């Protein structure tokens, strides 16, 4: 065989097997869990894939924290995003959690509702029905979260009076109960007069259309979160298994990078120093 032809053949063989190797190394990293994190994860995934085109990241529709952790244990996903730290049983199952940020726990209302500033006392009135209308006369329509949900737990910790008011709201017939953060946000956007809890991260990362209500005289935003003047926050975690793939670990490393940290900050997270 002519030397030039042999060289061309060798190059073709190298390219062919090189492509097979690259393909074999490519991974799909599947992320699922709390809806509060999915908008941020989508932005991180896009930036990560640009830096690491050998990997693909799929952010699944909202599973909720519990659903995400169960999916991770069942190997249906590679990264669970959680609004709480993992418990002893989950650690025993081989899961590891990393706190990637803290975001503001907030109150939101329908965009056409009056943007009322809230207090613990006004929350009691709203959840018991003592205040049945917004200032513009529109009826208040509560969008509740399940009793065991992290939002409900955080809400009821505000005061014993708020806890009793929330319990009273849950006891009423015909109340709207949103299972996930995404469900709650959807309900607030489409229901005139709606009021619910959410997170600053969800609002900023998904460009949600509703009022963010001031609470105890402070409007939750990036500045008030970072300077500590808005005190009501929620920790956000990524959780992986003991058998996490290389692509999964590289995604977590990217979250800790300068670029990843900037995305977290812009989407309403106060980032721990370890990142």
Asked if 272 and 139 touch (Cβ cutoff 8 Å), the reply is no
Lowest mean pLDDT among 150-154, 199-203, 231-235, 269-273: 269-273
Assess whether pLDDT exceeds 60 at residue 184: yes
What is the pLDDT confidence band of residue 133, given thresholds at 50, 70 and 90? Answer: very high
Query: pLDDT digits over 11-23, tens only?
Result: 333 333 344 334 4
CATH superfamily entry for domain 3-101+235-266: Periplasmic binding protein-like II (3.40.190.10)
- Crossing angle of helices 35-51 and 258-266, in 10° steps, is 150
Phi (first) and psi of residue 242, to 5 degrees: -65, -20
Return all residues near 143 (Cβ < 8 A) that are at least 6 apart.
Answer: 176, 177, 178, 184, 187, 188, 191, 194, 195, 196
Give tens-digit pLDDT for 230-258.
999 999 999 999 999 999 999 999 999 99
pLDDT tier for residue 45 given thresholds of 50, 70 and 90? very high
Domain boundaries, the chain: 3-101+235-266, 104-226
Are 3-101+235-266 and 104-226 in the same CATH fold? yes
CATH architecture of the domain 104-226 equals 3-Layer(aba) Sandwich (3.40)
Strand partners, 102: 235, 270
> Looking at residue 27, what is its pLDDT?
80
Mean pLDDT of 256-262: 95
DSSP line for 224-247? HHHTSSS--EEEEEEEEETT--HH
Distance, CA of 123 to CA of 53 (rounded, Å): 48
């Amino acid at each position: 065989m002519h030397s030039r032809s042999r060289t061309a053949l060798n190059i073709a063989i190298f390219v062919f097997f090189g492509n097979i190797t690259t393909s074999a190394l490519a991974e799909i990293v599947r992320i699922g869990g709390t809806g509060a994190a999915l908008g941020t994860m989508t932005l991180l995934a896009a930036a990560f894939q640009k830096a690491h085109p050998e990997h693909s990241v799929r952010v699944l529709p909202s599973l909720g924290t519990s659903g995400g952790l169960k999916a991770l244990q069942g190997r249906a996903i590679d990264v669970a995003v959680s609004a709480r730290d993992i418990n002893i049983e989950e650690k025993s199952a081989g899961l590891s959690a990393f706190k990637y940020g803290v975001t503001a726990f907030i109150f939101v209302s329908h965009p056409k509702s009056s943007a009322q500033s809230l207090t613990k006392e006004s929350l009691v009135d709203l959840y018991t029905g003592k205040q049945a209308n917004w200032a513009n006369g529109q009826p208040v329509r509560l969008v509740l979260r399940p009793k065991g949900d992290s939002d409900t737990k955080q809400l009821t910790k505000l005061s014993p009076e708020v806890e009793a008011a929330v319990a009273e709201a849950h006891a009423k017939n015909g109340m709207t109960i949103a299972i996930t953060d995404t469900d709650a946000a959807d309900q607030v956007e489409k229901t005139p007069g709606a009021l619910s809890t959410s997170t600053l991260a969800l609002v900023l990362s998904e460009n949600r259309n509703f009022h963010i209500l001031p609470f105890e005289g402070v409007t939750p935003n990036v500045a008030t979160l970072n300077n500590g003047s808005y005190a009501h926050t929620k920790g956000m975690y990524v959780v992986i298994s003991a058998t996490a793939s290389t692509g999964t670990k590289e995604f977590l490393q990217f979250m800790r990078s300068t670029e990843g940290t900037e995305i977290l900050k812009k989407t309403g997270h106060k980032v721990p120093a370890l990142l």
